[in-house]
Amino acid sequence: MTELGPPRLSQEFLDYHAVGMVKHLQKAGFLAYLVGGCVRDLLSGHVPKDFDISTNALPQEVRRFLSYAFIIGRRFRLVLVKREDKQYEVATFRREPKENEFPEGIPFGDNIFGTPEQDAFRRDFTCNALFYDPISNEVIDYVNGQKDIEDHVIRMIGDPKVRLVEDPIRILRALRFAHKLHFRIEPTLRHHICELSDNLALSVLPRRREEFMKLLRLHDPAATFREGFDLNLWSKIAPELHKVYEKDEHVDLFEEKLRRLDSRLVDPSDTALLSGTLVLGWLRASSHSSSDDLIKTSDLHQNERLQNLAKDQLGLHNWELGRIVKALSLQRLLSSPDEFQKRGQRRRNAVIFSEAFPLAVDLAHIDAVLDPETLDYWDAQLSLANEQILSAPPPKPQRHGSQQHRSRRKAPSRRAKMPPRPKPR
């Protein structure tokens, strides 16, 4: 284990609840540290997005000592702890199985727990394998990760050739971390990434989709996608993107859209805007059209190449692609506010209250196809629509047996309501 002086780490970036959980587990007699990406970000000067905790307490023990804790997962069980509007993952230290430890294979649902050192060597890159004790202000480093962070290097733990074959998604993770942190990929790792890029096609599409979305959330996704081409990644998993970079005279049309994404991305979870921007850039580059031309309807509907890119290569869902196509189809209408004003109120409302309208306005900004005055007009329409939606009264709950349904029931006869006649004496 590498021992250095107190870490140069900004205490104000620490999460109050995460530190409190570490302190609570330590008071109960367990080892407990902050781990992974939050430690990496704290040491490299970034504000962490999530705070994960590692401990030697078993999942059921974590649940016993921390309130609002729930055990999740089937194969690898960990604890999800809720504090206010945040969630924290608390995982028990794990290790790799020993040789011949399970001759018949690891039993399903089995969790092989270990020590902090064993847990560190299971992780992918040295910068992600650091533990931090916020109580003693100490970094626990078994893999020389602190030095790699200081040197701005992405380095694989163990043999890169073995680890990349073991999980090819690590290729995309190395690319993402390098551009997120402004680090360089260590030369040996870079060599094996190029050599083993074919293995990316063996990874499952949902995991590749997740990495694509994370690449698009970076501050400069254009530079990231260009290096992905330099590493020969897109020819294996996204041939349509590879064709864009092969024809270098049109790649600027693609990268121009990616550079503008950051200015419109308010909600990082908006996968339609993320993927819509990439699709827009691809359409511009593949059709060799500048932003002076409106998107052609023929480029959107019955476009087999677009379907392949979106569904088979990026892993988009049908609803996402449908929303993107509808948004881009509105571009011609957005270019003519006067024509929109001539429509009746009902037809105008059908446009501005449609699900695709906000995305259409965002993509119009990213595409820069409309003049500033026209964009301001549609921004105003979007703001007005949002105000009306927020001010609208909530819908009344549907009561069981509505008035309309009751009116269909046969009314009782008048005679049935009359009191019975008295019997004669």
**Cα separations in angstroms, 389 against 34, 44, 78, 352, 375:** 42, 42, 40, 11, 21
Q: What count of other Cβ atoms lies within 10 Å of the Cβ of residue 195? A: 13
First to last CA, the chain: 109
What's the CA gap between 326 and 220, in Å, rounded? 27
3-state secondary structure the chain: CECCCCCCCCHHHCCHHHHHHHHHHHHCCCCEEEECHHHHHHHCCCCCCCCEEEECCCHHHHHHHCCCEEEECCCCCEEEEEECCEEEEEEECECCCCCCCCCCCCCCCCCCECCHHHHHHHCCEHHHCCEEECCCCEEEECCCHHHHHHCCEECECCCHHHHHHHCCHHHHHHHHHHHHHCCEECHHHHHHHHHCHHHHHHCCHHHHHHHHHHHHCCCCHHHHHHHHHHCCCHHHHCHHHHHHHHCHHHHHHHHHHHHHHHHHCCCCCCHHHHHHHHHHHHHHHHCCCCCCCCCCHHHCCCCHHHHHHHHHHCCCCHHHHHHHHHHHHCHHHHCCHHHHHCCCHHHHHHHHCCCCHHHHHHHHHHHCCCCHHHHHHHHHHHHHHHHHHHHCCCCCCCCCCCHHHHHCCCCCCHHHHCCCCCCCC
Q: Name the pairing type of β-strands 138-140 and 131-133.
A: antiparallel
Q: Check 41, 119, 124, 141 and give the catalytic one.
A: 124
Phi-psi region of 35 (alpha: psi -120 to 50; beta: other; left: phi over 0): beta
50 catalytic? Reply is yes
Q: Which residues are annotated as catalytic?
A: 50, 52, 124
